Amino acid sequence: MRSMLIVPKPEELARFGEPDYVIYNAGECKADPSIPGVTSTTCVALNFKTCEQVILGTEYAGEMKKGILTVMFELMPRMNHLCMHASANVGKRGDVTVFFGLSGTGKTTLSADPHRSLIGDDEHVWTDRGVFNIEGGCYAKAIGLNPKTEKEIYDAVRFGAVAENCVLEKTTGEIDFYDESICKNTRVAYPLSHIEGALSKAVAGHPKNIIFLTNDAFGVMPPVARLTSAQAMFWFVIGYTANVPGVEAGNTRTARPVFSSCFGGPFLVRHATFYGEQLADKMKQHNSRVWLLNTGYAGGRADRGAKRMPLRVTRAIIDAIHDGSLDQEEYEVYPGWGLHIPKHVANVPAHLLNPRKAWKDVKQFNDTSKELVEMFQQSFNARFAAKASQEMKSAVPRYVEVSRL
């Protein structure tokens, strides 16, 4: 946690006094399922009255940082601030971009941009003055870490970083980033100072661009779409991605959607629609653009051999967002989903921009699209329909059959 939180100065520590919250991490001790409310040998409990968190039956270090995030999801709205499970960076002109996304969507990778300064990779708050990072470090996935595609993160894994569940090579003593014998969710924690150009104070202005990242395993989502205010609220509260083997709990060999409200369902204290309306108010007030980026699959389903969107394609799209060119492109509407898809993006193959054009079989595309739309509708109706505004409901997708690709 020393790598993850903001380290206080000696004089700050001297006058610290009593902590507001205390974390008791007894991860090696199993919880008792016979206790009411405890459903397994793993229990992560947070008490807002006693200001305590207790961790039992799991040695995943991320539970500590997520406990702090949960506290912030309760405290920040009292000040009219939006707490965000998101990464953020800032350009040389002061333009801030916030990246929302669940594990495996590329949040940490894409926010570590050599042309921009990192604010933080996971937990932020949007106030009346801009955004600030709750943390003082990063908690990146280590499995498959490659210096060619993720150089900034790879270079950050050096003296002072903490490796979690990683295996060392016997001969060299170096981390084997491809060894998943302990688990697939290997991690590295390192201070922000390990990222070249990261903001030391981790504070910046209001977001110019907000990006929702989704790893769509069904191959139905476009690589990029520009969202309206209603769509931004809908996609934020629905929090869609799909199963990412070894990262999200309950993954299978079959494509399966994951709906996690506000891209951080387990950490929310209030109803998701409350945070959705907070986001809409702030993006309207500060004229923020909202984008949906699919870092998942194109041309087919992941469970039927489709290939994942190349990282270079996603980076090219983000570059076009940052230089303003993507906002100037001509757009078309994706039938049923209502998403605005650009007809051209520099350095991105044209056939990838409209999802159906990347498929080879129109029936398979229609069947898969219908399946996913129905799952979206079921999830929204079960979780949000009762409290959602009419504006938000207008963005719920509907199935439209296409006759040709």
Q: pLDDT of 143-173, one tens digit each?
A: 999 999 899 999 999 999 999 999 999 999 9
Question: Regarding predicted confidence, which is higher, 60 or 104?
Answer: 60
Alpha carbons 302 and 227: distance in angstroms, whole number? 25
Mean pLDDT of 218-226: 97
Is the model's pLDDT at 275 over the cut of 90?
A: yes
Beta bridge partners of 168: 175
Using the predicted structure, report yes or no on whether residue 254 has a pLDDT greater than 80: no
Q: Which of 282, 297, 289 is nearest to 318 (CA)?
A: 289
Q: What is the pLDDT of residue 5?
A: 84
DSSP state string for 236-284: HHH-EEE--TTTSTT--SS--EEE-GGG-GGG--S-HHHHHHHHHHHHH
pLDDT at 251: 52
State residue 2's pLDDT score. Answer: 82
Q: 290: which residues sit within 8 A by CB, 6+ positions away?
A: 209, 210, 211, 212, 226, 227, 229, 231, 232, 283
Query: Across all residues in the chain, what is the average pLDDT?
Result: 93
Pairing of strands 22-26, 52-56: parallel
Q: Is 157 exposed, middle or buried (0-12, 13-18, 19+ CB in 10 A)?
A: buried
pLDDT confidence of residue 246: 40
Q: Is the pLDDT of residue 232 over 70?
A: yes
**Tell me, what's the pLDDT at 403?**
85
Q: Judge contact between 272 and 262, C-beta under 8 A.
A: yes
In sequence order, the β-bridge partners of residue 126 are: 82, 131
Q: What is the pLDDT of residue 247?
A: 43
Q: Is residue 45 classed as helix, strand or coil in its secondary structure?
A: strand
Q: How confident is the model at residue 252 (pLDDT cuts 50, 70, 90)?
A: low
pLDDT tens sequence across 67-103: 999 999 999 999 999 999 999 999 999 999 999 998 8
Whether the per-residue pLDDT at 349 is higher than 70: the answer is yes
Residue 245 has pLDDT above 80, yes or no: no
3-class SS of residue 44: strand
pLDDT of residue 303: 87
d(CA 226, CA 303): 28
- What pLDDT score was predicted for residue 293? 98
The whole-number average pLDDT for the span 297-324 is 94
Contact, 315 vs 331, CB < 8 A?
no
* pLDDT of 65 above 60: yes
Average pLDDT over every residue of 261-277: 96
**Domains of the chain and CATH, by start:** 1-59 (no CATH), 138-195 (2.170.8.10), 207-393 (3.90.228.20)
186 neighbors 176 (Cβ within 8 angstroms): no
CA dihedral sign of residues 330, 365, 376, 236: negative
At 7 the pLDDT is 84
- Helix-strand-coil split of the chain, %, nearest 5: 30, 25, 45
Which has the higher per-residue pLDDT, 106 or 56?
56
**pLDDT band at residue 241 using 50, 70 and 90 as cut-offs:** very high
3-19 mean pLDDT: 90
The per-residue pLDDT for 58 is 94
pLDDT-above-70 percentage for the chain: 98
Q: What pLDDT digit, counting tens, does each position of 92-102 carry?
A: 999 999 999 98
Band of the pLDDT at 1, cuts 50, 70, 90? confident
8 Å CB contact between 105 and 241: yes
Q: What are residue 57's phi and psi, to 5 degrees?
A: 75, 15
> How many residues would you count in the chain?
405
pLDDT of the residue at 8? 87
Average pLDDT over residues 304-313: 92
- Measured distance CA(72)–CA(70) in Å, rounded: 5
Q: Which residues contact 65 (CB under 8 A, 6 or more apart)?
A: 1, 4, 5, 122, 123, 135, 139
Residues 163, 165, 168: CA angle, nearest 5 degrees: 70
